[in-house]
Structure formats: C-alpha cells, structure tokens
Structure 1
C-alpha cells in the first residue's frame, strides 16, 4: 500500500490550495451577507461567476469526472480526486467554483453514463461548462424515501409524452435561479417487480405544472443561493425522449449515481472536519481562561488529539473506499462505501461539535463557519441514505459473506 499521492494529485492540490488562499477564504466571511436582499437570495453572486472563470482557466474544473467519462472530465480516479474534494470541503460553498458541487456532480455523472446523445447535447454540455445548474428530485414528504421503492410520484406514458404528478421536497439545487433542469424519480409501472417500477426522467424547470412551493431549511439554514425546494408536479408533460435509459431503470440509475455521490460527501466532510480542527487549534492557542491559554488545559489537549485521530481514521477509510471503487467498481466496493458513509458524517459531527465547544459562544454565531459546517454534516447523516439503512445493509452483507465461507 502507498500512502503518498501521485504527482498529478499533488500538483493539482498545490494549485487548488493556492486558489483557495487567494480567492475563496477572503470571500468566506462576507459570503452569506450577499443574500440578505430578497432579489439576491437565490442568485449565484457575480463574484462566484468570476471565480468560476478563473478556476476554468487554471484547469481546476470538473475534477470529479473520472477518466472513463473523457473528454468531459479531468480524468482523475476516485483516489486522485479524494484529497482535492477534501480541500474544497474546507469551505462548503467553494465546490461550485470548480463545478464540483452536488447535486450537479451526480446529475452530470448520470447523463454522462446513462444519457442519450440528445440528452447529453441538450443538458450535459451546458452543465459541464457551468452555464446552468440542476436538481435531483427523489425525496418525498409522504413516504420513507430512504427506501426508494416507496416513491409514489407517477410518470405515465401518454402517446409521445410522459405526464408526471407528485410532490417532492428537499430537491437540492432547485431554488437557484440558474437551475434549468430536474432529474425526477417516479413510478412508471406500479405492478412491475419491486425494483423495476421506478424510472428517472428529465424535466425542465420552466415546464408548465412544475410549481415550487417553498424553500426547505436544513437545521435552520436555507443554503442560499442553492436551496432545497418543495415542488408540486401537477400534470407536468414532457417528451417521451426525456426518459433516461428506459422505463423501469430508475432504481438501477439511482444505485449507479449514489456510490460516487456518497463518497464525495465523505471527502468534503473530512475537509470540513479538518478545517474545524485547524480553527480550534488556533483558537485555543490564543484564548486565555483561568490565567493561561486554553491550549495548556489537559482536557483541551485530549480533545484535540482525539479529533485528529478520528479525522485520520475517516480519511484513510475514504482513501481505501476510493481505491476499491477504482480497482473493482462501485458494486464490488458497496460495503466499504457504506462503511465510510456511516463513519465520515458522524465523525464530522463530533469533531465540529468539539470545535464549537472550544470557541464558546462565537462557535454558534454567524462570525464562525462552524455552525454551517455542523448543519451540513448532520444533514448528510440522512442524505443519500440515513445511517441506519447503511448499517442494516452492511450488516446483512457481512453476515451473508461469513455464512458463505
């Protein structure tokens, strides 16, 4: 086993760190104030658009797409991308600057892997260029959506069209003014075998009957300018050619999408946790209580050491999962993907919470990035499948493997 990244990764990491230092960290303090006016709430700031162009010119663009999707992506493996994604994760909004933010990454992967040539020409090219944004509509308020077979939104064939009816929420990305396309998961045949009932279909945001009901907050954050929308689909009619891969393939597409999506969240959360630890170390070195810096308190030193150990454990497990995905494919690596999806978000919650404790009141305020980081980490314990589902499936798989010996 090798514990050093290759030259391509280290070169890109150096460039990415320099870009973050020069352009992103200086913007962080005032970033959320850019959305204080209603007319700006769901609009990507012009400053981010400027940084996107700089990132594209620097070759720091579409880093997430592996070599199999060339010429669309940067040609990196999952293992090569992991430390870069971690760097972006240190400032949660920064991934958009490099066209590496969810849900666009997952949607681009779906279109690159499963889309028709027409679908790629119409939507993938614009997404790869960063000209538009997108959203993924799967979760529903009335069913336990962690079991995707529960999805009730109907997709009914009528001649040369499909008609869609249903209600979705936490449709990430749909509030953004530049969101032009939705990938919607629903049922095309309720009588088919359980995992062949679902389909995924492309729905332009401006299609009549697509009604954005409200933005959904996550842990009190509206996540401007991206947002998480509740959407009512009321007799939405789109061409039959908008179906992705064919009827009954929705569950298959979802499984293919979620492997990379899950590990990308973990990579970003390791960046969040490392940033929280770095900030905590700086804080305890400069903050005096009971006559001496907090850094001299034994309990603080123990907490810092534990935080470091937890981050390193999760980082190594993430690298191993990424390596197995590269070597054997997402399906074979599903157990270790489940493991890191269980470990990384919970680890980030613990580490960020400890950092908040060391910051005191400031750690809960708008003067610190820690609250938004914690909200993100806590939300990811549910996103792309809650902890309990991953633990249930991983436990089942491990028991079956042992029984098969």
Structure 2
C-alpha cells in the first residue's frame, strides 16, 4: 500500500470508530476485509489510527471536521506535511482536497483542545494533577514506551537484555522497578522472541511493575489477586515467591492465565469464589484508565460522568469485599491505573471511615512524567486480632 492509501484506510477505520464501534474491532474488521495488506501496512495504519485517537480534539480542529478524513487531514497538518501530496484521489488515496478544505485556516486553538482533554473532565484533572496538568496531558498525546517485566525467578535483567539482543530486540533497564526493561529497538518482535516464548519476560508497564515493588515481602505468603484480569500482577507476585490465588468477577478475563503461568514456570490457583483470609489481598480495581490513555486512547473519549460515578461504586464495593478476605495483621493493596483523586485518595479516605480496623501505611501516585503509565497504590494494614 502507498502512504496515501494507508491514510485513506485509516480515515475509513476512524469513521467506524466515530460511529460507535470499538477501535480494536474497527481495526480487526478492516484487516479481515483487506487481505492484500501486509504486516507493515497493518502496523502503519494502526499507528495512524491510534495517533488520531490520542489527539482527536486537536486533529479535528486542524482538519476542520471530526470525521475520519478530518482527523487524518489534521494529523498531516500537525506535523507540517503538505496534505495535497496524499489527498490526490489516485490509487486508493483520499480524494483531492475540496476548495473549502484547501483554504481552511484553523482558529487559535483553545488550551484544552490543544491538550486533547474533554471539557467536562478538566476540573477533575486539574484538582488531581495541579501544576502537572499540562505536561501530563501532553504526555498522553504521545505513544507510550514498550516495557517488559523480567521474570527474576528464572533470569537476571542483564541476561534478559543479552538474550533479547540475540533476537534483535534492544532493551535497557528502567529506574521505575528492579524488574523493568524499556524496549528501545524492534518492539514488534517481542512476542516472537525466545525470551518471551520461554516465559523469561512479559509485557508489562513499568509503573505497574513499580506498584508490585512497593508491596511488602510476599515470599511464601498467601496472596489473593482479587481483580486479576489477564494476570500480569499475579504472575509478578508468583515470581517473587508468593502463593497466589487469582480471582476475577468475569472469569473469562483469566482464560489465558494458565498458559501464561505455565510458560513462566509459575503456580497460580484460579478461583471463581475465593474463600478464607490471605496475608495480602491485591485489588487492581476497574477504573477510568486515565493513567493509560496513551495506550488505550478511546477510553478518554468514551468516559462520561455517569460512567465515572458507576466506577466509584464498583471500587467501593470491591474494597468492602476484599476487606473480608484480609487476615488480621494482613495487608490490603488498592491499585488503579488512574490519576483522578476521586478514584484514588478520596476512595481510600472513605474506605478508612468505613473500616477503622485498617490504617494507611503507604500511598504512591505515579504519572507518565516518570516514564510509565499513571498508577496509584494505597497500601493498608489490618489491625492484629
């Protein structure tokens, strides 16, 4: 495919997204219907689409319309490219610019448009981030780095770097966590590499790894990962010697975990109805995902005030349920990939009002300015019996 044809395909995919279809479904449907497209074409089109989703407001402003065509036009203008080189109408390229498009001059861009922030969410973000608001929002407009977690139960970071290099993948240690590597070269080869297939490394954000490194020593401790999802944190805990039980309200989310655990050489029990009490209960709760919007940018535009309120209720209920599984003198860890105080500090303050047997021992708020995604951790200690 020519570069122009890729832009046209991206515009069509973006139109489907704007009509209400999930972004990944749009990309998958296009790929299935476009067998002629090679892997490089699919990767390039995915990049165009995701860049446009990260920068939807500003690209629409520059392109003159919140349509797939308008977003692609805005993307080209944002990088100083000449759209007429691509909007030619030839060989599957976008049709030539109309006179209105060719002469369109964008008005001065409002700050929230330039930062690609939904208007309704701006006060919450300002309250939560303070003077970091603009740099954090700007970081969410960029592509996220690719990180790996080294399975230290089986290999050191240095040896993992060396083995990745043998497969043409460049990686460096990252300061956020002792297990973290940042991939600096050839990230698309990771899932075909021998270290990945052998369970020596896993894809996991560095901030997510930093959360695990903040937990108390879990070696030989019983741990309940109460919202396990795909099991990334369960695997990280098992690598540290924990006796892990994984649970999720939707067990289907854990369907790949047994194979991932086998690949990593880890033992993880899956439970649809966990019983008893544990030394540590980890609750990586459903949240707005505001800390990971550069990876999942569609979430920034689909979030509503009502949806956020529903998330607050779910988080409260999960904390109350997890409380029942925490043994006396045990630990309860509350984690989000959010940067909103309403999901983080305020949620914990309200929980402590309901649960006086717990005390807050530690909390940490990470933002993309530190390299990884935005994450929050509150580590709570239960009073001894």
Compare the two structures and name the one with the higher helix fraction. Answer: 1
Q: What TM-score does the superposition give when structure 1 sets the normalisation length?
A: 0.25
Specify the structure having the higher radius of gyration (Cα). Answer: 2
